[in-house]
Amino acid sequence: MDHQDYLKRPIFFEPNRVWRCYTGGKLMDVFTHQDTPKDNHFPEDWLASTTVANNGAHQQSPTDGLSKIRSGDKSAAKLFKDILSRYPSQSLGLEHFSEKEGIGVLCKYLDSAVRLPIQCHPDIPFARKYFNSEHGKSESWFILGTRVIDGQEPYILMGFKENVDPDGFKKAVKNQDVAFMEQSLHKVKVVPGEMYFIPGRMPHAIGPGIFLLEVQEPTDWVVQPEEFIGDTQLSYSDMWGPLTPEIGLECFDYQGRGALESILKKVKLVPHNVKNFGGGYLEKIIDKEITPCFRVDQLIVNSEVKLSYDAPWYIAVVADGNCEIKSEAGIDKAKQGDCFFVSNRISQLNFKALDKTARLYLITKGQ
């Protein structure tokens, strides 16, 4: 098959598990129909990724994080980015594909069995100044599943409380007073179906027992000033990356302190602007009013939907149900957990729900 033929129908991907310094993955295994669900050090799957994972001494290969196209011959599976590079116009509607810029968005499944460290990510100005990057790492979370671990109900930490003193927080980091650091952030219980947008520089942490789809800017930049994640001690590089602790702590947004109600009003996402198709509907979740970096819509297929999506390309993630997808090149089937790429060559897809309603997240670069 000519590689260009891949672009005439949805492109599906091989599993792309990525090593992380924390453990998890059991709920992800269940969601993606694995035979023996378990937690390990591969708690993330990077979806339709053109971004290399930054794992330092734990790097598994030079292509960590890069997605491969699913094919009958796994040994001959091609890197997704190579197809985009060879056919930028047909795939993305661009004159050329920049490996440095990638597709401008990164999607992940993430399933943590432990509380992740309190952390923040740079916004674009901070990334330009300290990481020589045009991308920060604003991110969004779509809660797909939860579990109780050691009696702890699933939760997230986000945003500094209104009475937090920046110098006091920095002192707690220096002394590794984790309890003080935790109490400086709001604690929010979560349930499946909730959605959040976490802008660059907002302090946050994902608690144990949360499985989510993460849509973010395409970088792996992070500042996480706790020395441990679960029982694993972090290296200096894990905590601060290329920064000094003094500069790293300035990545946190101390001006964004506030009451929980005001913070949730900014970050909790509510679908809006519904477009009905008769056999289903499309609703906006993240648009340029929230961030210029990426766009996320939700497609509900109750019976059958003919979709002409107003973007040059998009990534689709099947969050619930199974569906049949008909293109001019043929028919594919997608089940819960699948992710596929729809190229610039495809003007319309016909989605048909199988067994029950299918729900998909549609993701593209900000417009």
Give pLDDT tens digits for 106-119.
Answer: 999 999 999 999 99
Are residue 254 and residue 351 in the same domain, yes or no? no
**Domain end residue (candidates: 251, 267, 283):** 267
Are residue 232 and residue 350 in the same domain, yes or no? no
Are residue 40 and residue 161 in the same domain, yes or no? yes
Across-strand partners of 197?
140
CA distance 240 to 226: 10
Strand residues in the chain grouped as ranges (E): 11-12, 17-18, 44-47, 106-112, 139-146, 155-160, 185-189, 195-198, 204-206, 210-216, 228-229, 232-233, 272-276, 280-286, 294-301, 304-307, 314-327, 330-334, 339-342, 349-365
Cβ atoms within 10 A of the Cβ of 350, count? 16
Confidence of residue 4 (pLDDT cuts 50, 70, 90): low
Tell me, what DSSP letter sits at residue 183? H
Per-residue pLDDT tens for 18-76?
999 899 999 999 999 999 999 999 999 999 999 888 777 777 888 999 999 997 655 55
Closest residue by Cα to residue 213 from 41, 45, 29, 15? 45
Q: Residue 317 maps to which CATH number?
A: 2.60.120.10
CA distance 139 to 74: 31
- Say whether pTM exceeds 0.85: yes
**Domain end residue (candidates: 233, 267, 301):** 267
Tell me, what DSSP letter sits at residue 319? E
Per-residue pLDDT tens for 274-306?
999 999 999 999 999 999 999 999 999 999 999
Are residue 276 and residue 225 in the same domain, yes or no? no
Are residue 48 and residue 77 in the same domain, yes or no? yes
Are residue 222 and residue 132 in the same domain, yes or no? yes
- C-alpha 336 chain-centroid distance: 17
Q: Cα angle vertex 201, ends 230, 61, to 5°?
A: 55
- C-alpha 330 chain-centroid distance: 29
Share of the chain above pLDDT 70, in %: 97
Asked whether 299 and 362 are in contact (CB, 8 A), the reply is yes
Are residue 115 and residue 181 in the same domain, yes or no? yes
Are residue 79 and residue 134 in the same domain, yes or no? yes
Mean pLDDT confidence for 346-366: 96
Tell me, what DSSP letter sits at residue 78? P
Tell me, what DSSP letter sits at residue 110? E
Are residue 253 and residue 175 in the same domain, yes or no? yes
Are residue 222 and residue 127 in the same domain, yes or no? yes
Structural domain for 303, as ranges: 272-365
Average the pLDDT over each of 26-30, 107-111, 131-135, 251-255 and give the range with the smallest value: 131-135
Are residue 36 and residue 139 in the same domain, yes or no? yes
In the block, which residue shows the tokens 């003007």? Answer: 347
CA distance 53 to 316: 21
CA distance 32 to 18: 15
- Phi, psi of 49, rounded to the nearest 5 degrees: -90, 135
Predicted local distance difference test score (pLDDT) of residue 2: 57
In the block, which residue shows the tokens 């993606």? Answer: 32
Mean confidence (pLDDT) of the chain:
94
CA distance 145 to 179: 27
Are residue 182 and residue 290 in the same domain, yes or no? no
Mean pLDDT confidence for 214-241: 92
Average the pLDDT over each of 28-37, 167-176, 225-234, 250-259 and give the range with the smallest value: 225-234
Please state the domain count of the chain.
Answer: 2
Predicted local distance difference test score (pLDDT) of residue 76: 53
